[in-house]
Structure 1
Amino acid sequence: MSAFPGQPDNLTDGPRRSYQVPPDELEGAVRETLSHQVALARPLGVDPAGQAIRRANRIRRRRGAAGLAIAAVATVLLSAGMAQLGAETGRDGTPIVVIGDPDPSGRPIPTASVPGAKPSSGPSAALLGSETLVSADGRRLVLPDVGPAERAQLLPGGGGWLVVSTQTTAGRFLRVVQNDGLVQVLLAGAGAIVLAPDSRQVAWRDGGDLLVAGVVGGQLIGAARTAVPTGAMPVRFVGDSVLVRPDPADAGHILWRPGTGPLTEAVDQKTVNFYGGLPDGRLVGQISNDPGRTCLAVLDPTRHLNPVETGCGPDLSQDGAGGISADGRWLLVNGRVGKASRALLVDLRRLGSNPTAVAAGPPMTGAIVWIDESHASYLDAAGELVRVDVGRVRAGKPASPAAVSDVPAGDRPVLVAPF
């Protein structure tokens, strides 16, 4: 119907539109619509890649915070400690304690290489450094990325090694080398470094001070410090105390228990060297009696290192090389038979009755490792391994050195306990 008669209605009149669509055109329109929808990039409800990146960032932030926390705790403990620390010493220079990196993800992991041994997850399969460790039973372990080592000890539980470097122009370094190849520097630029037999404590000289700290989780914890005379050096641990030699040029030692006050004056004026301890806690050492003559002695650490038994038969050298069997009966020590320098075997049970010494092999250098009550090993001056059988030595058959296989020329092995 039109509002104006006689004029056509533009909504109803005019050309009519056809609503009939051929099937092929309808199909083509549907295909085109679907293709546009597929080509259109729509956001995903779940983004796995984004989640992984965010998770990695959170882990990195937590690791960073954990590393800072460990560094802060260790720094506080090392600066507060159990005795006079930090500013009280008044020493110059940067601290020698280095906090280890708690995140091993950025470190290269070396591969295992133990010639003649099957791969395993223990320390014998870990590649440690540029020198060679030789166990008392003859196994060889090569060390990279650590530098020349002077001593090495297994960590508690066998998770790696504590490695003491040789003396350098920058001092000595103490490193933790884990079985997965991670290397952490615990000390840098230290003087003499002494490790407890169980590897849970370390003592070292830093300038005019002697420090002792625990080794926990690849960190130095609870350091105690005391001033020491010029030239004084830690010698060994005796329980929780440290045996200190005030002057290497003179006889005499001091026992210092960390956290109990400063180092006292030398209470012992006769001891020259110490070779180890007996099962009852007493020590065996070398004392100076008459000028130019030294004797073996059993000393009591609870009585100011007073000798309780002596024996002056063997002709002993004064190089300090020696070691005692676990049962406390046998001592291997350097000395002389006539004019020849030899390693000597001494029966400590006969110490008080002018003991005689039996030639056990060529002179010793470095550590002596007792495998059991009647078998020991050491290295001679040429770096060859000498295995001592007490029964054969007593029968007049001294041990002979044997070359350690596959040791690079000029590389001196370091003897360690069996691994």
Structure 2
Amino acid sequence: MNTVSGGRDNQSGAPERLVNMSQDELERAVRETFSRQVATPRAPHDPAGAVLRRAHRIQRRRTVAGMSLAASAIVLVSVSAMHLRDDHPPPGGTVVIADPYPAPDTYRTVLPSPGPRTETPLAEVDLLVNRTIATAQGRRVTLIGIGAVERAHRLTDGRGWLAVGEPSLAGRSLWAVAADGTARVLLAGADEIVLDRDGRQVAWKQDRVLAAARIVDGELAGTVRADAPTTAVPLRFVDGAVLVRLDPDLPGHVLWPLRPGPLDEGTDRTSQRIFGALPDGRLVGEVSAETPEDACLTLLDPVALRPPEPPACGPTIEGAGLGAVSPDGRWLLVNGRVGEQDRALLVDLTRLDSTRLDPTVPVRPAGPAMTGAVSWNLPDVAHYADATGALVRVDAERVRAGRSAVRVTVPGLRDDEPLVVVTGG
């Protein structure tokens, strides 16, 4: 073996170093070192090794996640580019449809919802009170990331709600609200927005653009657009079509069958208001009798929107305002006048039909005048908010027996925030 440099004359106390060692001697020294390490009992815990191993695992996960995110971003950008190429709105349309890439100054932090909590139900229907939905089952769901709401609709599958915003200088918005209260915008900038009874379709109007789309898993699909007069306003869905009033200041309606191109304005110039449809498709509305101020209830053909031939009138309802037909077509709850007072009135539509539009069909006072939406949560029970913001419950059989509707006390309702009665469900 070669000499050892430094021997006992090395006063530094450092370990002796081997020099001029052959390849075979080096290999034997390495094997002896490993043999001694194997023979030495291992420490029960190696902190440094554990940290290194954990760091390697984290690095591998970040690398895989980064590659996945990059691939997802490429797919999203490609899909968005295809959508923009294939779905340009007509000139004049400025409605934004669920923009997934807003400008940087539109981002805002949305705190996670604390989740629904269960308390005593406030009513037989869902209510929006102080930015919280109180369900008929007693849940309280705080809305997250949403503006001021004028109307709300419960989805039939129980997966949440659709909320229509109040009108503003920027137009109306439509939000899809999940069951935990978190929301995302589906539409923004519309003049008017209407939903079908099941919350599966939406129609909107902006300037001269009339549009409709399906709502599938919180997204809009199959958008159809038509050119319409600037005065036209969508009112409601009727058997898959959209009922449109041609001018809010003039009589006349048309059913838009969700067909692209110019809107066919039809020939109806006599219908004053249309409140809904019967199961057979006929529309319940008002037509001008002798003067525009003197309108009577009638049943309109759903195609041409014409009253029966020869012309026939049911009872006359003075005044103008809201109205809603029950889902089974039995009842009409409508705003009218009793003497000098605005009231909600109840009409039995079976009597109206069976008596061939007899003007003597009784129109019974039901309660204070309605504001906002009417929810027929049962075939013969409706809820609405009155002008004071109170909740009113109308039991049709009770009203027919001569008793008035009942005001329902809603705990926690503030005077500065209106009550919104949720429809659908």
TM-score norm. by structure 2 comes to: 0.77
- Does the 8 A contact of 2:129 with 2:420 survive in 1? no
Number of aligned positions between the proteins: 374
Alpha-carbon offset, residue 163 of structure 1: 0.9
Bigger Cα displacement from structure 2, 186-195 vs 199-208: 199-208
2:350 counterpart of 1:349: yes
Q: Deviations over 1:99-145 (max 9, x none)?
A: 358xxxx8532123556249xxxx98xx9996354668998755343
- Does the 8 A contact of 1:109 with 1:181 survive in 2? no
Partner of 2:244: 244
Bigger Cα displacement from structure 2, 192-201 vs 310-319: 310-319
Distance 1:60 1:260, change over 3 A: closer
Q: Distance in 2 between matches of 1:47 and 1:134?
A: 49
TM-score norm. by structure 1 comes to: 0.78
1:227-306 equivalences in 2 (<5 Å):
227-259=227-259, 261-291=261-291, 292-302=293-303, 304-306=304-306
- Does the 8 A contact of 2:345 with 2:364 survive in 1? yes
1:331-350 equivalences in 2 (<5 Å):
331-350=332-351
What secondary structure, in the 3-state scheme, does the structure 1 residue paired with 2:157 have? helix
Partner of 1:402: 408
- Does the 8 A contact of 2:95 with 2:187 survive in 1? no
Alpha-carbon offset, residue 310 of structure 1: 4.7
Alpha-carbon offset, residue 247 of structure 1: 0.9
1:53-92 equivalences in 2 (<5 Å):
53-72=62-81, 74-76=83-85, 78-79=87-88, 86=89, 89-91=90-92
Distance 1:264 1:359, change over 3 A: same
Alpha-carbon offset, residue 98 of structure 1: 2.7
- Does the 8 A contact of 1:317 with 1:336 survive in 2? yes
Q: Deviations over 1:230-255 (max 9, x none)?
A: 22111111222211111110000111
Q: Distance in 2 between matches of 1:128 and 1:416?
A: 7
Q: Distance in 1 between matches of 2:411 and 2:144?
A: 18
Letter of the structure 1 residue corresponding to residue 320 of structure 2: Q
What secondary structure, in the 3-state scheme, does the structure 2 residue paired with 1:49 have? helix
- Does the 8 A contact of 2:116 with 2:139 survive in 1? no
1:197-236 equivalences in 2 (<5 Å):
197-236=197-236
Q: Distance in 1 between matches of 2:57 and 2:110?
A: 28
Alpha-carbon offset, residue 261 of structure 1: 3.4
Q: Distance in 2 between matches of 1:375 and 1:407?
A: 22
What secondary structure, in the 3-state scheme, does the structure 1 residue paired with 2:320 have? coil
Letter of the structure 2 residue corresponding to residue 145 of structure 1: G
Pick aligned residue for 2:112 from 109, 112, 115: 109
RMSD after superposition = 3.7
- Does the 8 A contact of 1:323 with 1:332 survive in 2? yes
2:384 counterpart of 1:378: yes
Partner of 2:325: 324
Query: Which consecutive residues of structure 1, in runs of 5 or more, have no partner in the other structure?
Result: 1-9, 12-25, 80-85
What secondary structure, in the 3-state scheme, does the structure 1 residue paired with 2:307 have? strand
- Does the 8 A contact of 2:204 with 2:210 survive in 1? yes
- Does the 8 A contact of 1:99 with 1:219 survive in 2? no
Q: Distance in 2 between matches of 1:77 and 1:317?
A: 47
Q: Deviations over 1:45-85 (max 9, x none)?
A: 99422232233223423443453355345435532xxxxxx
Partner of 1:313: 315
Letter of the structure 1 residue corresponding to residue 227 of structure 2: A
Bigger Cα displacement from structure 2, 129-138 vs 354-363: 129-138
Pick aligned residue for 1:364 from 363, 367, 370: 370
Q: Distance in 2 between matches of 1:39 and 1:142?
A: 46
Q: Distance in 1 between matches of 2:210 and 2:315?
A: 36
- Does the 8 A contact of 1:283 with 1:301 survive in 2? yes
- Does the 8 A contact of 1:136 with 1:377 survive in 2? no
Distance 1:77 1:255, change over 3 A: farther
Distance 1:117 1:75, change over 3 A: farther
Distance 1:149 1:213, change over 3 A: same
Distance 1:377 1:136, change over 3 A: farther
Q: Distance in 1 between matches of 2:384 and 2:247?
A: 28
Alpha-carbon offset, residue 384 of structure 1: 0.9
- Does the 8 A contact of 1:100 with 1:218 survive in 2? no
Partner of 1:14: none
Letter of the structure 2 residue corresponding to residue 112 of structure 1: G
Q: Distance in 1 between matches of 2:162 and 2:182?
A: 12
- Does the 8 A contact of 1:273 with 1:285 survive in 2? yes
